[in-house]
Amino acid sequence: MTVLEATDVETIRQIFSEMYNVRRFTPNPDYNFIRVSQQTMTSKAQRHDFTFSINSNVRGDPLQALYFGHIRTGAVTYHVGHTSRTYAGGDVFLAVQPDHFLDADLAHP
């Protein structure tokens, strides 16, 4: 299991880039904090537990794996085509399909 925490924008940008192939990260100047606990279930499935206080849009390339998320605090809205789904504290969900581009809005409470 991997656990990462960050409060500065550049470290958060690096974490998103390395973990999620994020190519575009546009944070607001609000307080920024993320904590990600990553557990690999199989070579094609991972579980991520998120705690964050950040307002941002993130976009990235397909991840080639199933990503399951668990929001501890905050909210995330995933966009796929013309469909959007929002998840908040306590929600466990399938975040991204292997062949879908990542497009998500993060919002702190």
Question: Alpha-carbon distance 3 to 18, whole Å?
Answer: 13
Please give the pLDDT value at position 5: 92
Enter the tokens of residue 68: 């399951």
Within 13 Å of residue 89, how many CA atoms lie on the same side as its CB?
A: 9
The tally of domains found in the chain comes to 1
Would you report the helix, strand and coil content of the chain in percent, each value rounded to 5? 10, 60, 30
CATH code (residue 83): 2.60.120
pLDDT one-digit tens code per residue, 8-55: 888 988 988 888 888 888 887 667 888 888 888 888 888 888 787 888
Question: Alpha-carbon distance 27 to 30, whole Å?
Answer: 8
pLDDT one-digit tens code per residue, 48-74: 887 878 888 889 898 888 888 888 888
Range of the domain at 73: 2-107
Instruction: Count the Cβ atoms, other than its own, within 10 Å of residue 96.
Output: 23
The pTM of the full predicted model, rounded to 2 decimals, is 0.75
